[in-house]
Amino acid sequence: MARHYSSFDRRGWRWLLQRVTAAFLVVVLAFHFFLLHFVHHAADITFAGTRFRMSNLGYFATMWLFLVTATFHGVNGVYNALVNQGIAGTQKRVAQVVLVAAGALLVVQGTRVAVAMAGISI
């Protein structure tokens, strides 16, 4: 039995970011679910309530960081899964381009949604 095991990869910044975002997401995903399903029931969510919450700078910043970290963690996780399945060469390059584009689009659209929810005019 190995005395110590870690999947730590010294060569990769993505390895570290996947774990840093995981530590953040564990807390914020639990908070998000608790607030919007148990404190406020999803069926009772209204635009007015959403705007009230998103008008708070700390809440807005937390939700935007939630969007960015969840997008990175999810897209990087999909990429890791595909590499794990053995994609290489052109397939790997296509996966990188498609996933980076999908992630960027999601962050842009999510930011537009957050801005609309908060009632910020740009």
- Residue numbers at the binding site for other proteins (CB under 8 A): 1-8, 19, 22-23, 25-26, 29-30, 33, 37-38, 41-48, 50, 67, 70-71, 74-75, 77-78, 81, 84-85, 102, 106, 109-110, 112-113, 116-117
- In the complex with other proteins, the residue whose CB is nearer, 93 or 112, is 112
Whole-number minimum distance, CB 22 to other proteins, in Å? 5
Query: DSSP letters along the chain, please?
Result: --S------TT-HHHHHHHHHHHHHHHHHHHHHIIIIIIS-GGG--HHHHHHHHTSHHHHHHHHHHHHHHHHHHHHHHHHHHHHTT--HHHHHHHHHHHHHHHHHHHHHHHHHHHHHHT---
Whole-number minimum distance, CB 94 to other proteins, in Å? 18
Whole-number minimum distance, CB 60 to other proteins, in Å? 13
Whole-number minimum distance, CB 109 to other proteins, in Å? 6
